[in-house]
Amino acid sequence: MKEIILLFLCFFLGIAGAWTLIRLGEQIGMTDLPNERSSHNKKVCKGGGIGILFAIMIASFFLKIAHFLWLPALGISLASLWGGDRYKLTVKQRLFVHFGCGIYFLLFLSETIKIGGDFYLLSIPLALLFIVGTSNFYNFMDGIDGIAGITGLVGFLLLANYGIRIHAAPNYITFCVCICASCIGFLFFNFPRAKVFLGDVGSILIGFVFSCLTIVLANSAMDFLIMAGFIFPFYIDEISTMVIRIKDRESLILAHRRHLYQLLVNEMETPHWLVSVGYGIFQAIVGLSLMTVKPLGVSAIFSTYFIYSMLFIVISLLVRSKAHAYK
């Protein structure tokens, strides 16, 4: 019964955060103005992810989530609110905060890290890169209505499902479901048409918490490989786009509109909601596939990643070719 009440509380906090920013965002300077890189054409308030932050903090308190998870999550989210949504930190300053929060998490978790096995010392920097990379990738991919909220909902639902399968601690499974509930609440104002954006306060937070939970829940390298794939579309879109931009000698720190989801919305004029739902369905298929092939071993997991990567790349190349023809 207590868990159900907590879920409803997190759901309403997701709603409350979005609703509050819609009402007050313009007054406190929390608005996103459209520019040549945007996928929207009107001014929209941002920072609606503050409700998800409150939900995560409340859930952490009642579920007794370890301080080395919720405290850096709070830090990275508030830093993103101040340095991303309200003001602007430099790339170096942002990365300093991200690495600092990741190091805090890993230092206190170090005794329980299992993904490295005999390569324990190597696993720490790899885990740190995974955390910082996921936090930023999630932020980069939050560019159209609904995509970050839906990805968060599906991703943490998959984490909860897999946590049950591997007999993870019940409080962490419930924690994942609480985050799902807050994402649903936020989506009422962000999907199918956004009245408010998640903002850095929410997108970087979700990416950070997802990556940390993946490490916390993993009992083995195989578990880690499977759970990391629960937001696979964000990884493959960001990485493939980075490769293309590097090939074209573009600066990776400059804003752009070259992700597949951006091309689908901006050049192909596909509705935001359809692209976001499509990414969510693809995400669920990949996640369920990885869980299904687990009994076949690591080679089957890598084969699954390869197949879906090739599928995504083929679709991406076709869309990019058509988008180029439209110019």
Place of tokens 């945007």: 38
Helix (H) / strand (E) element for 57: namely: helix 50-63
Q: Which two structure tokens, joined as six digits, stand for 196?
A: 């408010």
Sign for the CA dihedral angle at 319, 321, 326, 327 comes to positive
Place of tokens 């509050």: 20
CA separation for the pair 307, 69 (Å, rounded): 33
CA separation for the pair 272, 39 (Å, rounded): 9
The phi and psi torsions of 89 (rounded to 5 degrees) equal: -85, 155
Give the three-class secondary structure for 167.
coil
CB 158 within 8 A of CB 8: no
Which residues share a beta bridge with 120?
none
Q: Residue 248, annotated ligand binder?
A: no
Give the three-class secondary structure for 82.
helix
The phi and psi torsions of 140 (rounded to 5 degrees) equal: -65, -35
CB 52 within 8 A of CB 206: yes
CA separation for the pair 180, 159 (Å, rounded): 10
The phi and psi torsions of 95 (rounded to 5 degrees) equal: -65, -35
DSSP string covering 181-199: HHHHHHHTTTSSS-SB---
CB 179 within 8 A of CB 163: no
Tell me the C-alpha to C-alpha distance, in Å, between residue 295 and each of 101, 110, 184, 226, 304: 35, 28, 32, 12, 13
Q: Residue 190, annotated ligand binder?
A: no
User: Can you say which residues are annotated as belonging to the binding site for Mg(2+)?
Assistant: 139, 200
Q: Which residue numbers belong to the known binding site?
A: 139, 200
